[in-house]
Amino acid sequence: MTSAAASLPLASPAAARKTLLLQTSAALLLSLAIGLYFWIDSRYPALLKKLHSGQAIHVSGVLSFDALLPVTPSMPVMTRIERTTVNWMWTNRIGMSFGICFGAALLTLLSTLPQIRLKSAAGNTALGAVVGVPLGVCANCVAPIGRGLFVAGASSNTVLATMISSPMLNVVVLAMAFTLFPLKIALVRLAVPLVLIALVPLIVRQTAPSAHSFASVRGAERWLQPVGETLKNYFRHVARLAANTIPLMILAAALGAVVAELAPAQDVPAKVSVVGIILVALVGTFLPVPMAFDVAAAFILMARGVPMPYVVTLLCTLGAFSIYPMLILGRTISWRTAVTLFGGVMLLGICAGVGTGLLQHSL
């Protein structure tokens, strides 16, 4: 991390503490401002609107609530893929912007603090779960935040738990699940992320932490200089985080569009089979979808008569993970961790689907 004012001589301990306090305060206020603006102006009003829609909830695209460009089955495959990619990026533009800006703000804030790590893997995992619940961003938009946390020195357990709890344990999304689905199905939807978070220490194992540099502090006569340096660091972090995540976002959008258009929901077989559940779990874990899209899409399929084992499998996998956070985790922490988490989400979805099929005697 860059120093507050590299050209100045080292300050006295009292002056250094004052400068550090100014930097920390500026970074904290910046983080709160970005977070509150997103949560109050955009995310929670949108989630509450979906909750209040009840059974009238609908989606406009195979990967998005909103469709900037119309997509019809009569269009050529490549046209549908291109338009679905654009629609996905349009739907996620606000959440992804927040993820990058807020992730950079957290990185700026944590660089002014001693490394925040608890002694136990369980403690770090619980910390991440608590941090993620109110974030209100999908598995895709939380990926830049996870990268920012890891670069700032957070534990891998904290990063993974944050990325799981944000899309899967959000209280409004859970309320949607309990409103739209039978109680037993909603409880399964709640149990899957809890089990996944409990497995985080096993998934992470001994992943090496990111090198954390505690910002060195030099004296400044006025408050303007350390605050200005904090803002410079923030914009530098935004640029780096954007450069590391936006290209992968575009790639993930294109890959998701290819899978969604080549394996549309209407092709889900009417007969339940273990192979079918595995394929649905694979597609559900792979596809990048916006916040609460998993609940909405699963409910719509249930209303159309799709067999419940497939619906439950999709409900437990579609919003939990995707190819995008897998790419981010692979480049940030390790590919073994990313692939293992992908496999863990898929396996839990398969178990949920098979269990539902066995209880319904459809398998």
The per-residue pLDDT for range 63-89, each reduced to its tens digit, is 888 888 898 888 999 999 999 999 999
- What mean pLDDT is predicted for residues 139-168? 94
Q: pLDDT at residue 222 above 90?
A: no
| Percentage of residues of the chain with pLDDT beyond 70 | 90
Predicted pLDDT at 215: 53
Q: pLDDT at residue 8 above 50?
A: no
256 part of a folded domain: yes
6 part of a folded domain: no
Q: Which residues contact 69 (CB under 8 A, 6 or more apart)?
A: 83, 86, 87
Tokens of 311: 């619906």
194 part of a folded domain: yes
Task: State the angle between helix axes of 171-180 and 293-303 in degrees (0 to 180), rounded to the nearest 10.
Answer: 10
Cβ neighbour number for residue 27 with a 10 Å cutoff: 25
Q: How confident is the model at residue 164 (pLDDT cuts 50, 70, 90)?
A: very high
- 142 versus 213: which is more confidently predicted? 142
Which structural domain range is residue 275 located in?
Answer: 13-359
Report the mean per-residue pLDDT for the chain: 88
Nearest Cα residue to 43 out of 137, 131, 163: 137
1 part of a folded domain: no
5 part of a folded domain: no
| Percentage of residues of the chain with pLDDT beyond 90 | 66
Q: How confident is the model at residue 223 (pLDDT cuts 50, 70, 90)?
A: low
What span, in angstroms and rounded, lies between the C-alpha atoms of 128 and 203? 14
Nearest Cα residue to 283 out of 305, 309, 261, 306: 261
Is there a contact between 56 and 257 (Cβ–Cβ < 8 Å)? no
Cβ neighbour number for residue 296 with a 10 Å cutoff: 22
Q: What is the pTM of this model?
A: 0.88
4 part of a folded domain: no
What span, in angstroms and rounded, lies between the C-alpha atoms of 71 and 286? 21
Per-residue DSSP letters for 266-328? GGS-SS--HHHHHHHHHHHHH----TTHHHHHHHHHHHTT--HHHHHHHHHHTTT--HHHHHH
What span, in angstroms and rounded, lies between the C-alpha atoms of 16 and 67? 52
Predicted pLDDT at 209: 56
What span, in angstroms and rounded, lies between the C-alpha atoms of 46 and 242? 25
302 part of a folded domain: yes
Predicted pLDDT at 224: 78
Q: Which of 1-10, 230-239, 290-299 shows the lowest mean pLDDT across its residues?
A: 1-10
H-helix segments, the chain: 13-38, 44-53, 77-91, 93-110, 121-132, 142-151, 156-168, 171-180, 183-198, 200-204, 224-262, 274-286, 293-303, 308-317, 323-332, 335-359
> Which of 29-38, 68-77, 263-272 has the highest mean predicted lDDT (pLDDT)?
29-38
For the chain, the domain total comes to 1
7 part of a folded domain: no
